[in-house]
Structure 1
């Protein structure tokens, strides 16, 4: 990456209009969202916008693949899905970044943790989402 790309902060390229999930949304609600928007994950937020966690496709798919999931993962999947709401099955500790995180640092975190989207937070409140597509588009735009 060039110096100009490294100098880009996430606030300049993040998506601000984020599709979110409420902590009491049911598994059925989540399945409808996955079908409607085709994102791989959704932030779970409180009514005042505080990020609680993230629900992703893998969490929803694991119980459906009972025959092909290793037994250690199966027990966790079943336990998680029994929560039946977003709060019960979400990842409670998602990787987050601030709006002032550099493009280079955000891209490195995505690669290191094998994630496609990261929540952008300020004082625990969700202010945006950064996707690998956002990063790629910004790099392409600058070329």
Structure 2
């Protein structure tokens, strides 16, 4: 079975805490992703939060203005995995935490990438025939 790092197909799409709700919506649409990793340059580019489609929907349901900064609605509890971990562990984390995206971090905590439930299922499917 592959390692998590082998599932990453492109660099992660990131946001900054000062980006706005509309910035995030536009970025998700442009890159066709369901989540963004929030990084702060002052933190050495390490992930500080995640913004998922669910977070965006909640913000819109709460009638937050499109000019609202990401800091107001981002999920600061990051569930992460290292690139050398098995894909099965990624699946377990996603199931146990009810999430569809995992932040992949290097041993030093720097951002390596992101994997989605689709990436994980695609790999697991190759082992279930």
Q: TM-score range, shorter-chain basis?
A: 0.7 to 0.9
Q: Distance in 2 between matches of 1:57 and 1:127?
A: 21
Q: Distance in 1 between matches of 2:31 and 2:10?
A: 16
TM-score (norm 2): 0.81
Q: Deviations over 1:97-122 (max 9, x none)?
A: 11121111111111111111100012
C-alpha deviation, 1:35, in angstroms: 2.4
Partner of 2:104: helix, strand, or coil? strand
Match of 1:94 among 55, 78, 88: 78
Gap change, CA 1:85 and 1:63, over 3 Å in 2: closer
What residue is the counterpart of 1:70 in the other structure? Answer: none
**8 A contact 2:100–2:116 mirrored in 1:** yes
Alignment of 1:56-135 (within 5 A): 56-66=52-62, 84-122=68-106, 123-135=108-120
Deviant stretches of 4+, over 4 Å: none
Partner of 1:30: helix, strand, or coil? helix
Match of 1:42 among 24, 36, 53: 36
Segments of structure 2 that go 5 or more residues without pairing to the other structure are none
Higher Rg: 1
Segments of structure 1 that go 5 or more residues without pairing to the other structure are 67-76
What residue is the counterpart of 1:69 in the other structure? Answer: none
